[in-house]
């Protein structure tokens, strides 16, 4: 939807020329963005009892005045270019006192100086000048994620929301490592269900405007990190029977999205903070139940494994 432009100095300021035949108005300024609709007013002051016989709009192009429209209440409006004109009427009987030139969906070709000539009685020609400046709109594209917890865990559903302050035709979203997996949305909302570990990575959101639009290549990215922690696997199964006085090393591992923190405990006492357990010169006091925990604290992920170590019976 096109937005109205912001106008300044739109009131008519009249100063009589010599003999009352020519009047020049102060220059008005309108600042607009590409795609907006612009209304340029031109009218006489309320306290001036003037009879406007004709209105002519012109635009200065390459130093020359080019006619846009001519309006005469006694005849019809003559259009020289694709513009819209709305006359302003008042009084009893109804009299013409001005008009509004309307430009729709402006672009850079519309910028420039617009001149309104009012043919009046008794002052003659009144002249109103408006400078129109057209700039590219400021476009802000953003992206954020709605997730059920602080960190995304494997199996979670998340919502990615792409937004632009200027409504595009639609939004597209895809993971950078798989450009064939493209989703499209009119409102910029994308739901990713049951996220898996291989779906971690950067996602690109691209609002889609017409190819002729200066901003048609605008996009924004966000990184999704899917956290996971697999069950602990050890190189030996419980129960473990060892000879007295021997040495045993138990190697364990948990596949995870980031290095987990390990801790071996026996009888509620920490033995080591490594994933491996080394027992040298094993005695009966060293036998029993050992518990290994693996955690990713930030993601609230936790797994544990239990190993029972016993001494072998002598032959």
- Is the pLDDT assigned to residue 5 strictly greater than 60? no
* Among 137, 126, 112, 165, residue whose Cα is nearest residue 45: 126
Q: Say if residues 145 and 160 touch (Cβ distance below 8 Å).
A: yes
Three-state secondary structure call for residue 24: strand
pLDDT at residue 1 is higher than 70:
no
Start and end residues for every CATH 2.60.40.10 domain found in the chain: 6-135, 141-227, 233-311
Q: Average per-residue pLDDT in the chain?
A: 85
**Which one, of 124, 166, 310, 145, lies nearest residue 225 by Cα?**
145
Q: What is the pLDDT of residues 15-60, one digit of tens each?
A: 333 233 333 444 689 999 888 899 999 888 755 667 888 999 999 9
pLDDT on residue 124? 83
Mean pLDDT value across residues 226-236 = 95
6 — pLDDT class (breaks 50, 70, 90): very low
State the Cα–Cα distance between residues 83 and 71, nearest whole angstrom. Answer: 13
| Cross-strand bridge partners of residue 306 | 291
pLDDT confidence of residue 222 = 94
Element (H, E) at 218: none
158-164 and 189-192 as β-strands: parallel, antiparallel, unpaired?
antiparallel
DSSP, res 251: E
Q: 289 versus 19: which is more confidently predicted? A: 289
For residue 16, what is the DSSP state?
A: B
Residue 191 to residue 61: CA distance in whole angstroms: 52
Q: Which CATH architecture has domain 141-227?
A: Sandwich (2.60)
Report yes or no on whether pTM surpasses 0.75.
Answer: no
CA torsion through residues 48, 54, 60, 63, sign: negative
pLDDT at 74: 85
- In this structure, of 122-136, 148-162, 234-248, the range with the lowest mean pLDDT score is 122-136
CB-count burial class (<10 Å; 0-12, 13-18, 19+) for 238: middle
Contact 225, 201 (CB under 8 A): no
Tell me the CA end-to-end span of the chain in Å, nearest whole number: 91
Q: Average pLDDT for residues 83-107, to the nearest whole number?
A: 87
Assign domain 6-135 to its CATH architecture. Sandwich (2.60)
- Report the pLDDT value the prediction gives residue 22, as an integer from 0 to 100: 34
Grouping H, G, I as helix, E, B as strand and the rest as coil, residue 176 is: coil
For 27-59, give the DSSP string. Answer: EEEEEEETT-BEEEEEE--TT---EEEEEEEEE
Looking at the domain that runs over 233-311, which CATH code has it been given? 2.60.40.10
Is the separation of the CB atoms in 223 and 254 below 8 Å? Answer: no
Determine phi and psi for 284, rounding to 5 degrees: -65, -30
| Distance between CA atoms of residues 189 and 30, nearest Å | 36
Q: Look at residues 206, 199, 204, 198 and name the one whose alpha carbon lies nearest to residue 222.
A: 204
């Amino acid at each position: 939807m096109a937005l109205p432009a912001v106008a300044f100095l739109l009131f008519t300021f009249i100063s009589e020329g010599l003999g009352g035949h020519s009047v020049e108005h102060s220059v008005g300024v309108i600042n607009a963005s590409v795609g907006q609709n612009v209304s340029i007013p031109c009218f006489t002051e309320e306290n001036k009892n003037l009879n406007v016989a004709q209105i002519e709009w012109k635009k200065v192009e390459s130093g020359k005045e080019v006619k846009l429209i001519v309006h005469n209440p006694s005849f019809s409006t003559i259009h020289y270019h694709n513009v819209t004109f709305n006359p302003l009427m008042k009084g009893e009987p109804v009299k013409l006192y001005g008009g509004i030139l309307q430009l729709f969906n402006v672009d850079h070709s519309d910028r420039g100086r617009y001149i309104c000539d009012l043919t009046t009685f008794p002052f003659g020609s009144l002249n109103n000048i408006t400078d129109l400046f057209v700039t590219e709109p400021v476009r802000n594209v953003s992206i954020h994620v709605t997730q059920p917890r602080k960190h995304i865990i494997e199996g979670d559903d998340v919502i990615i929301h792409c937004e632009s302050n200027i409504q595009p035709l639609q939004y597209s979203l895809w993971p950078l490592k798989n450009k064939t997996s493209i989703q499209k949305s009119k409102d910029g909302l994308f739901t990713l269900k049951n996220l898996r570990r291989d779906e971690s990575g950067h996602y690109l959101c691209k609002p889609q405007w017409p190819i002729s639009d200066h901003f048609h290549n605008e996009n924004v990215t966000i990184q999704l990190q899917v956290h996971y922690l697999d069950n602990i696997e050890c190189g030996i199964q419980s129960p473990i029977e060892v000879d007295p006085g021997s040495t045993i090393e138990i190697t364990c591992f948990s596949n995870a999205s980031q290095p987990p923190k390990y801790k071996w405990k026996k009888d509620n006492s920490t033995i080591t903070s490594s994933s491996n357990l080394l027992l040298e010169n094993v005695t009966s006091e060293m036998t029993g139940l050992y518990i290994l925990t693996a955690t990713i604290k930030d993601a609230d992920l936790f797994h544990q494994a239990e190993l029972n170590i016993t001494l072998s019976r002598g032959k």
